[in-house]
Structure 1
Amino acid sequence: MSEAASAQATRAAIGDSEFDRDTALIPRAPGVYDIDLSAGWTIINAVNGGYLLAVLGRALADALPHADPFTISAHYLTASQPGPAVVRTDVVRTGRTLSTGQASLFQYDEEGREVERIRVLASYGDLDALPDDVRTTAEPPAIPPLDQCFGPQDGPAPVSGSSAIADRLMIKIDPATLGWAVGAPSGKGEMRAWFGLADGRDADPLSLLLAVDALPPTAFELGLKGWVPTVELTVHVRSRPAPGPLRVSITTRNLAGGFLEEDAEVWDSNDRLVAQSRQLARVRLG
């Protein structure tokens, strides 16, 4: 049975999946939460930035009167590691249609002192209350059918740079953006793929925060190797996604001074643009 078919057969529900369990928070005090960051969402040794954003996004959904992230901007200050962490939130403003809050995730150094790992500022609302009117020139990415795309499990050995997070995702990459995996990067700075969670859980606004930062970096198709750590990431959630696999398209147009931008679009099974993001990332040159 294929990975996609297996996911369809088991099909975890929203609220009862590995993603939900691994982003669950334990309230310590009003606006303060404890969590044990799972090693299952690591890339090499660092915790994935999209997973971290989903953790903070869940904390703000609990702390604010609105449940859905509309825009969330994160600055990654130091690399997070699997293990205990604390999230502190602060309500900045509440209104009828939007509420704004900020949150930070802390871990502890060898001497027991708190170290801030990531800080976010976000506005939340109700996606179901938005009007249906859509006027756009954006078009879904042209990706071959899922069975004509390739993931880590399709190779004779694990894809270079993959790690624990690969086992928790259903990623099938467009062959046109997979040259880096066979030593022939296109040089175009593009990455396109079908995306889902390996246990079949459908996407929701919080998992979209993971989706924008889960594909291999576009730097691979530029002929670069190694870790590409995120410095800043802003996500706009535009609509509640329909059930079914997502399509994610990421592009980089400018690498300069050891930094590049990645612009991502996430499309659902109804051909609706459900999330957009831009991040600034650092590239290891030489």
Structure 2
Amino acid sequence: MAQAVQASIGDSEFDRDTAVSLRAPGVYDAELSAGWTIVRAVNGGYLLALLGRALGEALPHPDPFTVSAHYLTASQPGPAVIRTEIVRTGRTLSTGQASLVQFEEDGTEVERIRVLATYGDLDALSDDVRTTAAPPAMAPYEQCLGPADGPVAIPGSSAITERLNIRLDPATVGWAVGAPSGKGEMRGWFSLADGRDADPFSLLLTVDALPPTSFELGLTGWTPTVELTTHIRCRPAPGPLRVSITTRNLAGGFLEEDAEVWDSRDRLVAQSRQLAKAPR
């Protein structure tokens, strides 16, 4: 699982592309990179990480604990402005909200995404763990499949696939050969392609980085996120992550995706649930 290039946290393409610069108190400039697009839209997990960084600059606590985002319109590569507001600060937790806007050619402002988040200090959390959760049962890394192993490309794949190292469990790639399982499951190993280890901000990307479970339900095409809530449970250990995503209910043209992210020490480091529009 060695990487050809080993980037470090704080010095990687992900860090550069999620950087924000202070324009005025609580207001940040950002540049949405075309490197994190799917078809023409910017990936929702990348956007979550970008707003997460802005809130990390604005709030007194360093780490996202829970981040809830509503995606209002599809974001496009290019300049953006993020406006933050501190809602409450306390001794162990602080809460803020952020809104990302872009501008049409005529100057009209369009809000793309709005976030409410609570931050704290992951290093200050108790070591007490009582859980019935277990890492996902999936094939070893060497037996999982990457884009080069399949007979067809991932539908809608584009620039973002060059920045991710995803190896999918063979049990969840029937869609790639025209034989979806119908189970609404997606599992795989995940890391950034440049070898940068995971941190709380990259976990905000990870929960929305695998192909959608709708593929295994026999549906292909864009599955746009309506709302995404992510919980960061602890700081991930170095090494590849294991991601499991499941959908139990597709109804009325919408589906939910429940994601779990596990680190190399078998710890549950992130959880999320999103509501998405099913492909037509």
Equivalent residue in structure 2 for 1:268, among 253, 263, 270: 263
After superposition, residues 228-239 of structure 1 pair within 5 angstroms as 228-239=223-234
Is residue 2:102 matched to residue 1:107? yes
Moved over 6 A (4+): none
Is residue 2:185 matched to residue 1:173? no
After superposition, residues 241-256 of structure 1 pair within 5 angstroms as 241-256=236-251
> Cα offset for 1:30?
1.1
> Cα offset for 1:101?
0.1
Distance 1:268 1:107 in 2: 35
Map Cα deviations across residues 74-104 of structure 1 (whole Å, 9 max, x no partner). 0000000000100000000000000000000
Say how many residue pairs are matched: 280
Q: Which residue in 2 is equivalent to 1:53?
A: 48
SS in 1 for 2:55: helix
Map Cα deviations across residues 97-137 of structure 1 (whole Å, 9 max, x no partner). 00000000000112111100000000000000000010000
> Cα offset for 1:257?
0.2
> Cα offset for 1:284?
2.5
Q: Which residue in 2 is equivalent to 1:12?
A: 7
Q: Which residue in 1 is equivalent to 2:157?
A: 162
Query: Please, what is the CA RMSD of the aligned residues?
Result: 0.8
Is residue 2:206 matched to residue 1:208? no
SS in 2 for 1:265: strand
**Aligned amino acid, residue 107 of structure 1:** Q
SS in 1 for 2:162: helix
Equivalent residue in structure 2 for 1:123, among 110, 118, 121: 118
Distance 1:38 1:170 in 2: 18
SS in 1 for 2:217: coil
Distance 1:272 1:110 in 2: 47
Distance 1:263 1:200 in 2: 26
Q: Which residue in 2 is equivalent to 1:198?
A: 193
Q: Which residue in 2 is equivalent to 1:132?
A: 127
**Aligned amino acid, residue 127 of structure 2:** D
**Aligned amino acid, residue 166 of structure 1:** T
Q: Which residue in 2 is equivalent to 1:43?
A: 38
> Cα offset for 1:156?
4.8
> Cα offset for 1:153?
2.4
**Aligned amino acid, residue 154 of structure 1:** D
Distance 2:276 2:156 in 1: 16
Answer whether contact 2:30 2:81 (CA < 8 A) is retained. Answer: yes
**Aligned amino acid, residue 177 of structure 2:** V
> Cα offset for 1:273?
0.2
**So what's the TM-score if we normalise by structure 1?**
0.96
> Cα offset for 1:11?
1.1
SS in 2 for 1:221: helix
Is residue 2:136 matched to residue 1:141? yes
Distance 1:153 1:19 in 2: 23
Map Cα deviations across residues 22-45 of structure 1 (whole Å, 9 max, x no partner). 000111011111111000000011
Which blocks of at least 5 consecutive residues in structure 2 are unaligned? Answer: none
Equivalent residue in structure 2 for 1:152, among 147, 153, 176: 147
- In structure 2, relative to structure 1, the CA distance for the partners of 1:280 and 1:214 (3 Å cut) is same
